[in-house]
């Protein structure tokens, strides 16, 4: 039982990372109807940026992550600006464009930071907490708290600010939103920037848990994407539940099946999606094509 609970805690910690990635996927899809296939690579750039300022520039961990979030938010704005002329004209080219950006960012990471990557030390050096016989790493608690606070802030932004309300209006009906004076392009740019910032936060938090290299984006990106689908693409609550679910599956599969854990996770994921194709909290499909 103790091993099971220990694995559960580890799975929830990983799941919080996947949930943040899934939130970025869902936010962009909810606003634009577009799947940003460069999202995982944006998270990887965020992880490398954080590690550079944390390990090389010796800045505090929180400040390093903050800088990474700002850098990737600007990167998100650049990606959206390049794709904007295609919006409403060629949806397939927009998708291909995000894939191209992903390949470019991965190559850029190899050129700038090298192919070997780096191990990021934990910013917390306190002893693990002992709770009912469980040894819980303080960094795991930090990741869970940050994910919870970030989600609460995102929900508050979407439901309690004029900008968030405008983004939701664009998501429901861009033409009607335009007719009442909402700038659709600006809403899309904000969605891309926030989504990229969430990706950087996920990548930065994953740094001390996973090895930071050019393939990190593929690792957490594909599982974040699966989490978004499992929860119901475009659904904020679903992104959280899906992320935690994938994280727990990943942890238990790794403990039981070792190197075959990814195969087991995605087989179970495929079965779940066949049972419920729209995901746990599936909404109507957003289609801007």
Is position 282 within any domain? no
CA–CA gap between residue 183 and residue 161 (Å, rounded): 15
The whole domain housing 258 covers: 13-121+136-275
Is residue 87 situated within a structural domain?
yes
CA dihedral 30→189→221→112, nearest 10 degrees, is: 180
Q: What is the pLDDT of residues 78-131, one digit of tens each?
A: 998 888 877 766 777 888 889 999 999 999 999 999 988 899 999 988 888 877
For residue 287, what pLDDT is reported?
A: 47
Domain-located, residue 288: no
Percentage of the chain exceeding pLDDT 70: 96
pLDDT in tens, 123-169: 988 888 877 777 888 999 999 999 999 999 999 998 889 888 888 88
Decide if 126 is inside a domain: no
Question: With bands split at pLDDT 50, 70 and 90, how would you rate the model's confidence at 286?
Answer: very low
Residue partners of 274: CB distance under 8 A and separation at least 6 = none
At 130 the three-state DSSP class reads: strand
- Chain-centroid distance of CA 107 in Å reads 20
Judged by DSSP in three states, 134 sits in strand
Domains identified in the chain, total number: 1
Residue at 281 is within a domain? no
CA distance 190 to 46: 18
Residue 247 lies in a domain: yes
CA angle at residue 255 from 252 to 258, to 5 degrees?
A: 115
Task: Write the pLDDT tens digit of every residue in 37-49.
Answer: 999 999 999 999 9
Enumerate residues 6+ apart whose C-beta is below 8 A from 126: 138
pTM of this structure? 0.91
Listed in sequence order, the residues at least 6 apart from 114 whose beta carbon sits closer than 8 Å to its beta carbon are: none
User: 201-250 pLDDT, tens per residue?
Assistant: 999 999 999 889 999 998 899 999 999 999 988 888 899 999 999 999 99
Residue 241 belongs to a domain? yes
Q: What is the CATH number of the domain that holds 264?
A: 1.10.3470.10
Of the candidates 56, 63, 24, 15, which has an alpha carbon nearest to the alpha carbon of residue 42?
A: 24
Contact 41, 195 (CB under 8 A): no
Q: What are the beta bridge partners of residue 129?
A: 136
Read off the pLDDT of residues 21-35 as tens digits, 9 standing for 90 and up: 999 999 988 887 788
Q: How far apart are CA 205 and CA 210, in angstroms?
A: 9
Residue 285's pLDDT band (cuts 50, 70, 90):
very low
Alpha-carbon Rg for the chain in angstroms: 19
Residue 259 lies in a domain: yes
For the chain, give the mean pLDDT. Answer: 88
Residue 94: its pLDDT value, please? Answer: 82
Express each pLDDT in 236-254 by its tens digit.
889 999 999 999 999 999 8
């Amino acid at each position: 039982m103790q091993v099971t609970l220990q694995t559960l805690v580890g799975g929830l910690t990983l799941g919080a990372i996947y949930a943040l990635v899934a939130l970025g996927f869902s936010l962009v899809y909810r606003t634009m109807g577009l799947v940003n296939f460069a999202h995982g690579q944006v998270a990887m750039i965020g992880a490398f940026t954080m590690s550079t300022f944390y390990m090389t520039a010796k800045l505090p961990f929180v400040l390093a992550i903050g800088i990474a979030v700002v850098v990737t938010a600007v990167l998100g704005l650049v990606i959206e600006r390049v794709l904007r002329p295609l919006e409403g004209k060629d949806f397939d080219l927009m998708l291909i464009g995000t894939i191209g950006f992903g390949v470019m960012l991965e190559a850029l990471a190899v050129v700038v930071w090298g192919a070997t990557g780096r191990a990021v030390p934990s910013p917390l050096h306190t002893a693990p907490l002992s709770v009912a016989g469980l040894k819980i790493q303080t960094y795991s608690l930090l990741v869970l708290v940050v994910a919870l606070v970030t989600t609460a802030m995102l929900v508050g932004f979407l439901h309690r600010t004029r900008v968030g309300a405008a983004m939701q209006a664009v998501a429901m009906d861009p033409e009607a939103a335009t007719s009442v004076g909402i700038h659709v392009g600006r809403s899309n740019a904000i969605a891309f920037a926030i989504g990229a910032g969430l990706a950087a936060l996920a990548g930065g938090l994953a740094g001390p848990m996973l090895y930071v290299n050019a393939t990190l984006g593929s690792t957490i990106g594909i599982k974040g994407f699966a989490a978004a689908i499992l929860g119901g693409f475009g659904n904020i609550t679903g992104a959280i539940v899906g992320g935690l679910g994938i994280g727990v599956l990943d942890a238990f599969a790794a403990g039981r099946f070792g190197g075959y854990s990814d195969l087991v996770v995605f087989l179970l994921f495929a079965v779940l999606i066949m049972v419920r194709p729209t995901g746990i909290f599936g909404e109507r499909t957003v289609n801007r094509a």
